[in-house]
Amino acid sequence: MKRRNYLEYLESESVSLIREVAEEFENPAILFSGGKDSLLLIHLAVRAFWPAKVPFKIVHVDTGHNFPETIAFRDELVKRFGLDLVVGSVEDSIRRGTAADEKGPDATRNRIQSVTLLETIEKHRFDALIGGARRDEEKARAKERFFSHRNEFGEWDPKNQRPELWSLFNCKKAVGESFRVFPLNNWTEMDVWNYIHYRGIEVPSLYFAHKREVFVRHGILYAVTPFKPPLPNEKPYEAEVRFRTIGDATCTGALVSSAKTVPEVIAEVAELKTTERGTRADDKVSETAMEDRKKQGYF
Amino acid sequence: MSNPTNFDLLKVAFIGNVDDGKSTLIGRLFHDTDSIFEDQRSELERSSARRGETKLNLALFTDGLRAEREQGITIDIAYRYFATERRKFIVVDCPGHFQYTRNMITGCSTVDAVVVLIDAENYVRHGLMEQTKRHLAIASLLGIRGFVVGVNKMDLVGYDESVFRRIADDVRAAAMKVGAPDLHLIPISAVDGDNVVARSEKLPWYPGATLLTTLETLNVGARDAAAAFRFPVQRVIRGATATNPNFRGYAGRIASGTVRVGDEIAVGVSGFRSKVRGIHTFDEPERRVASAPDSIVLTLEDEIDVSRGDLLAELPRAPRTGSEITARICWLGATSADPATTYLVKHHHRYLKAKLVGVRKKLDISTLVATEGDEALGLNEIGEVSLKLSQPVAFDAYAENRTTGSVIVIDPRTNQTVGAGLFL
């Protein structure tokens, strides 16, 4: 008999978790950010329900500051798997006055996207949202359950999480409360790339080395975009870079790299001395920046 | 960073009393295997300095919550991942506080091995702590097979072999009482890294392996391929495949054993029989064989009634069936278990109403002896009860099968998980 490898073990765990969501909740959805982890979620969901279609809506919170490649890739994916896409727009929240842009050159919409997310959940009455967060990413995420309870304001209470025994998930909740579910909890960045290679999954071109205009701020390499223009003293220059994570363009740092294929990315990741989120400005606001955002309803 | 994709995975939880150094030891293990990234390290340096500490505070590596860092304790479990050339590890840091025992149980319910930490200096003053015994008892109860005992803070007792021997004798006796006879005992200092990854010259009288080598070579028993086939049905999937426009299959994750096309199976309580017609996955639409823990879709030869919550099992090794089952319960609720209350239990993919009647035995944590009695189970107590279910279920003893032998107890008034049940 063929010996199953570790990647198939992770795949099996995630598939089982995604199926459980479909059974336990009335109106679940998958949160799609455009990054490789949420892309992986969609591929795992396709596996979980094959030969039937994915029975979930796909939710994308559009900050309005995305790389154009992200949106193009999203639309292609939706078409290919016949997915049902819902877009929540941060611009709309700002126009309605429920969210306000931060000021200054380091402004991002990273924090206010939680507002749009919660509005989208309320509008569509989603009772469970599946996210691609992984425990190895960040120290607050290292504390997450697979099925994470949220009160009616979408808040996480890390000091009072439900026990989660074996693979028995208590999905009971009061009206208005919801769950966040993290089927990729046990995956590491390396596992994700190995799996992408193993199953031949196509990922956005931003993950591979390409030439683009960049500038340095606070030690982080940013792409020149209309949403984050360089200041007069920050000289833009062309470099061969790739992105290790893809958030919106204002908070995602680039990596100088020549890795143009998945095996080259895997070889590079094996040598890297910093974590994936080491280039994410949004995590550096304070010592517990991620926990603080998660408590507010961020993923 | 090392990156094997083979299946040699060890899930290990670090347990023991509060302040015995669990988080520090995990930090040390990652530090000395070069598994802390540079940005994580500079975050640790900044946070340590902010706390006025001159050395790197390795406990902050897993104590990631604001409240944990404020109080210098672990509140909830944290997961960390690393790999060596030999194995992949999922490391679970568990809280030591009595108050957070339910989080410790959560952390231990899915692991293969535990590292029990004991503070040698504290032992000299107070002996073996009740919480250490409780954690040993819980780990054993949960069916964990690998027990490593780290006798920590040897630096604070002058690396004294006689202290280590006294602790070894005491902890062996305690472990024997709770049915965990095989212990690997290692004298260590988490703060200085003695015997964690590198052998220590300060402990020349200890001839055994370091913590890392012990974890790399620990035999927790290969997942038992000879175990009886058990398949909890999670979802009925209907769709169309290339060869079958009216596909109807049963999706789930194999809990134990192996299944082959053509095998005869029986459906849980109903006893209906059929044969396996096909084993299907997206990547291999027609498989001949599958084993635990694969997630698959099964099709059967006959049109029989099978739905979510049913258990498919091999013949003749069928599961037991019943609606009144003796179970060990770890009570996790703030209010005591009430025999008059109707609770909800979840047994693999099925919810049932349940009553906890007749607490027969309770484990006294200070003596590790089971006492007779019919008092109600309180928070963090372990007792043997009769679980009366609204419907009969197909099940196995927990000792034989973690999936078909376990339930969680939910209080329908609060929706909280208030108990962990293990069938006897």
pLDDT in tens, B235-279: 999 988 888 889 999 999 999 999 999 999 999 999 999 999 999
Q: Which residues sit opposite B238 in a β-bridge? A: B248
Residues 142-161 of A with CB under 8 A from B: 142-143, 145, 158-159, 161
Question: Which SS3 state, helix, strand or coil, does residue B42 take?
Answer: helix
Q: What is the 3-state secondary structure (H, E, C) of B263-296?
A: CEEEECCCCCEEEEEEEECCCCCCECEEECCCEE
The pLDDT assigned to A256 comes to 94
Q: What are phi and psi of B107, to 5 degrees?
A: -65, -35
Task: Give me B389's structure tokens.
Answer: 């279910």
**Mean pLDDT over residues A166-185, rounded?**
95
pLDDT at A39 exceeding the cut of 70? yes
CB contact, 8 Å: B110 with chain A?
A: yes
- In angstroms, the Cα distances linking A64 to A67, A113, A248, A279, B114 are 9, 10, 8, 21, 47
Task: From A282, A170, A153, select the one nearest B333 (Cα to Cα).
Answer: A170
**Mean pLDDT over residues A38-48, rounded?**
96
CB contact under 8 A, A5 and B5: yes
Q: What is the pTM of this model?
A: 0.93
Which class for B170: exposed (0-12), middle (13-18), buried (19 or more C-beta within 10 A)? middle
Residue by residue, pLDDT tens for chain B (424 residues) are 444 455 688 999 999 998 888 889 999 999 999 988 888 888 888 888 888 888 888 888 888 888 888 888 888 899 999 999 899 999 999 999 888 889 999 999 999 999 999 999 999 999 999 999 999 999 999 999 899 999 999 999 999 999 999 999 999 999 999 888 789 999 999 999 999 999 999 999 999 999 999 999 998 865 566 899 999 999 999 988 888 889 999 999 999 999 999 999 999 999 999 999 999 999 999 999 999 999 999 999 999 999 999 999 998 899 999 999 999 999 999 999 998 999 999 999 999 999 998 787 887 766 777 777 667 888 888 899 999 999 999 999 999 999 999 999 999 999 999 999 999 9
Tokens 């073990």, residue located = A9
Does ipTM come in above 0.85? yes
The pLDDT assigned to A127 comes to 94
Structural domains in chain B plus CATH codes:
9-217 (3.40.50.300), 230-314 (2.40.30.10), 320-423 (2.40.30.10)
CB contact, 8 Å: B84 with chain A?
A: no
CB contact under 8 A, A172 and B79: no
In A30-47, which positions are buried (b, 16+ CB within 10 angstroms) versus exposed (e)?
bbbbbbbbbbbbbbbbbb
**Which residues of chain A are within 8 Å of residue B297 when distances are taken between CB atoms?**
50
Task: Give me B295's structure tokens.
Answer: 């997630």
Task: From B77, B31, B81, B79, select the one nearest B56 (Cα to Cα).
Answer: B31
Minimal Cβ distance to A4: which of B7, B106, B412: B7
Distance CA A176, CA A26 (A): 12
Distance CA B142, CA B136 (A): 10
CB contact under 8 A, B281 and A270: no
The pLDDT assigned to A249 comes to 78
CB contact, 8 Å: A267 with chain B?
A: no
Distance CA B298, CA B262 (A): 11
**Mean pLDDT over residues A30-59, rounded?**
94
What contacts 24+ positions apart, CB below 8 Å, involve A8-11? A8/B294, A9/B7, A9/B9, A9/B293, A10/A186, A10/A187, A10/A191, A10/A195, A11/A44, A11/A47, A11/A195, A11/B295
Task: From A62, A53, A52, select the one nearest A32 (Cα to Cα).
Answer: A62
Average pLDDT of chain A is: 90
Q: Which residues sit opposite B394 in a β-bridge? A: B321
Q: Which of A60-64, A258-262, B205-209 shows the lowest per-residue confidence on average (mean pLDDT)? A: A60-64
CB contact under 8 A, B67 and A168: no
CB contact under 8 A, A163 and B38: no
* Nearest chain B residue (CA) to A187: B81
Residue B126 corresponds to which amino acid?
H
For residue A188, give how far its alpha carbon lies from the nearest alpha carbon of chain B (Å).
7
Tokens 């003596």, residue located = B367
* Nearest chain B residue (CA) to A24: B349
pLDDT at A182 exceeding the cut of 60? yes
Distance CA B75, CA B50 (A): 21
Instruction: Show me where the domains of chain A are located.
Output: 6-192+287-296, 203-283
Please answer whether residues B378 and B102 qualify as being in contact, where contact means their C-beta atoms are separated by less than 8 angstroms. Answer: no
**pLDDT tens per residue across span A275-297:** 887 766 666 667 777 888 777 77
Distance CA A11, CA A14 (A): 5
CB contact under 8 A, A5 and B6: yes
Please answer whether residues A195 and A201 qualify as being in contact, where contact means their C-beta atoms are separated by less than 8 angstroms. Answer: yes
Q: How is domain A6-192+287-296 classified at the CATH fold level?
A: Rossmann fold (3.40.50)
CB contact under 8 A, B417 and A162: yes
Strands B369-372 and B350-364: antiparallel
